Amino acid sequence: MSYQSNHILDKLPEHLKQFIKPQNYDDYSAIDQAVWRYVMRKNVDYLSTVAHETYTEGLKKTGISIDHIPNMYGMNRILKEIGWAAVAVDGFIPPAAFMEFQAYNVLVIASDIRQLEHIQYTPAPDIIHEGAGHAPIIANPEYAEYLRRFGEIGCKAISSAKDYELYDAVRHLSIIKEAPGTPQKEIEKAEKEIEALQQNMGEPSEMALIRNLHWWTVEYGLIGELEDPKIYGAGLLSSIGESAWCMTDEVKKIPYSIEAADTSFDITKPQPQLFVTPDFAFLSQVLEEFANTMALRKGGLSGVKKLIHARELGTIELSTGIQISGTFGRIIEHEGKPVYIQTNGPTALSYREKELVGHSTQHHPDGFGTPIGKLKGINLAIEDMSPRDLKAYNIYEGERVSLEFEGKIKVTGDIITGTRNLRGEIILITFDNCTVTYKDEVLFQPEHGFYNMAVGDSVVSAFNGPADLNSFNLITHQLSSSTIKLEKSKDYLQLERYYEQIRHFREGINTTISRNKVFKELRENHPNDWLLSVELYELANSNGDLDFARQIKDHLQDVKNRNPQFGHLIDDGLALVDQELVKG
Beta-carbon contacts of 60 under 8 Å, excluding residues fewer than 6 positions away, are none
What is the C-alpha separation between 541 and 507, in angstroms, rounded? Answer: 16
Residue 520, CB-side half-sphere exposure with 13 Å CA sphere: 5
- Asked if residues 3 and 72 have their Cβ atoms less than 8 Å apart, the reply is yes
What confidence score (pLDDT) does residue 277 get? Answer: 98
**Inter-residue contact 275 to 260 (CB < 8 Å):** yes
- The maximal CA–CA distance of the chain, rounded, in angstroms, is 103
Residue 233 CA from chain centroid, whole number: 14
Q: Which amino acid is at 525?
A: N
Of 139, 166, 138, the C-alpha closest to 150 is: 138
Long-range contacts of 360-366 (CB under 8 A, 24+ apart): 360/471, 361/471, 361/472, 364/326, 364/452
pLDDT reported for residue 122 = 67
Neighbours of 97 (CB within 10 A): 17
CA distance 9 to 104: 8
Which residue stretches of the chain have pLDDT < 50? Answer: 1, 479-481
Bridging pattern class, strands 85-89 and 106-110: parallel
- Distance set, CA 313 to CA 43, 142, 188, 467 (Å): 42, 32, 34, 10
What pLDDT is stored for residue 480 in this prediction? 46
> Does residue 158 sit in helix, strand or coil?
coil
Handedness of CA 41, 45, 46, 48 (dihedral sign): positive
- The count of C-alpha atoms lying within 13 angstroms of the C-alpha of 303, restricted to the half-sphere facing its C-beta, is 26
Other beta carbons within 10 angstroms of residue 456's beta carbon come to 25
Task: DSSP letter for 384, please.
Answer: G
Q: What is the DSSP letter of 178?
A: H
Q: Coil, strand, or helix at residue 329? A: strand
Measure the N-to-C terminal CA separation of the chain; round to a whole number of Å. Answer: 47
Measuring CA to CA, which residue among 42, 60, 190 is closest to residue 128? 42
Dist. CA 44–CA 42, nearest whole Å = 6
How far apart CA 581 and CA 446 sit, in angstroms, is: 87
Query: CA 566 to CA 558: how far, in whole Å?
Result: 11
Q: For 375, which DSSP code?
A: B
Q: Confirm if 19 and 89 have CB atoms less than 8 A apart.
A: yes
**How far is residue 440 from each of residues 38, 192, 409, 434, 448, measured CA to CA in Å?**
73, 49, 10, 16, 18
CB 455 within 8 A of CB 383: yes
Question: Per DSSP, what are the bridge partners of residue 420?
Answer: 426
- The Cα 173–Cα 97 span in angstroms is 20
Helix (H) or strand (E) holding 324: strand 322-334
In DSSP notation, 205-256 reads PHHHHHHHHHIIIIIT-EEE-SSSEEE--HHHHT-TTHHHHTTSTTSEEEE-
Distance CA 193, CA 263 (A): 21
Phi first, then psi: give them for residue 556, nearest 5 degrees: -65, -30
